[in-house]
Amino acid sequence: MSLRFSKMHGIGNDFVVLDCRQQRFALSEAQIRAIADRRTGVGFDQLLSVEPARDPSCAFYYGIWNADGSATGQCGNGVRCVAAWLHRAGALAIGDTVRLESPSGPVAVKLLAADRVAVDMGEPDFAPAASGFDGSDHRLGLGSDRVEIGVVSMGNPHAVVHLADVADPSVPAWGPALTSHPRFAHGVNAGFVQKLTHDHLRLKVHERGSGWTLACGTGACAAMAVLRQRGEVGQSVQVDLPGGTLQIDWTGPGHPLWMTGPAAFVYEGEWLNH
């Protein structure tokens, strides 16, 4: 049996997108890992399924799996790609705003152009429990180092470390150590952020379940939210990641956070090893 898919990316965070509107999603973790393999499979950071919505207020549901086969609650670059995918499938027009259902709840997407999407990602949740974090002491031991983290859920868990320079030589080791830190019950996405100006950040993210990625949309939202909560940035911030730039807008508590950025098609394919 074969499996048709679209290969997409959002500033280098790459996806396999499956049309599950008529056909139920039925891949095992092992099959997801096989498709994720960049040598013997297709390769992706996340696999996305587009499915009928369970919530009647939403147009479609999207599922999200990391390259290691684990499921997660949200994916910022992924939801922009789902919106562009729906446009190509004739289900979403440019200029339209639609509610989509993620595993962590509804988000609103606005298709600005065939390849540009704004998303209301909801309000950042700073409660430690929302990120599976075990308490109020935000200093963590990473090997022989101690770092201060900001913890926030954007529908998935994030730990954000503010550094003077994201090229800090400790970052390559801190990424995996933070992602699997035992104080997070389910692992965490680890963001390392540098403030360039009041409205401009630089960010690198080591993602839970996928490793270092060229971009993490929810990571950009999390980094902005943590620095905004600390009064370090304004309400409209450009976040530069290794694969490109996202615009993040957040007035503050009581308001939703918006993420705006591109979504790109790479090719349509057929997985024959199913």
Ligand X SMILES: N[C@@H](CCC[C@H](N)C(=O)O)C(=O)O
Restricted to residues 144-183, the positions that interact with ligand X (CB under 6 A) are 156
Residue 273, annotated as binding a ligand? no
Strand-pair category, 105-113 with 116-120: antiparallel
- Minimum Å gap between C-beta 183 and ligand X is 17
- Does 246 bind ligand X (CB under 6 A)? Our answer is no
- Does 189 bind ligand X (CB under 6 A)? Our answer is yes
* Sole binder of ligand X in the list 6, 49, 77, 131 (CB under 6 A): 77
Spot the catalytic one: 58, 75, 81, 221: 75
Residue 13, annotated as binding a ligand? yes
Restricted to residues 15-74, the positions that interact with ligand X (CB under 6 A) are 45-46, 66, 72
- Does 131 bind ligand X (CB under 6 A)? Our answer is no
Residue 101, annotated as binding a ligand? no
Helix-then-strand count for the chain, H and E: 4, 18
Q: Which residues contact 229 (CB under 8 A, 6 or more apart)?
A: 124, 126, 150, 252
134 vs 145 by CB, closer to ligand X: 134
Residue 95, annotated as binding a ligand? no
165 vs 187 by CB, closer to ligand X: 187
* Sole binder of ligand X in the list 20, 32, 36, 75 (CB under 6 A): 75
* Sole binder of ligand X in the list 18, 207, 225, 227 (CB under 6 A): 207
Residue 206: count of CB within 10 angstroms of its CB: 25
Give strand ranges (E) for the chain: 3-10, 13-19, 46-52, 60-66, 97-102, 105-113, 116-120, 139-142, 145-148, 150-153, 157-163, 189-197, 200-207, 211-213, 236-241, 244-249, 258-262, 264-271
25 vs 197 by CB, closer to ligand X: 25
* Residues at the contact surface with ligand X, assessed by CB under 6 A: 13, 45-46, 66, 72, 75-78, 156, 189, 207-210, 213, 216-218
Question: Which residues are known to be catalytic?
Answer: 75, 216
Write out the binding residues: 13, 46, 66, 76-77, 156, 189, 207-208, 217-218
Residues that constitute the known binding site for substrate = 13, 46, 66, 76-77, 156, 189, 207-208, 217-218
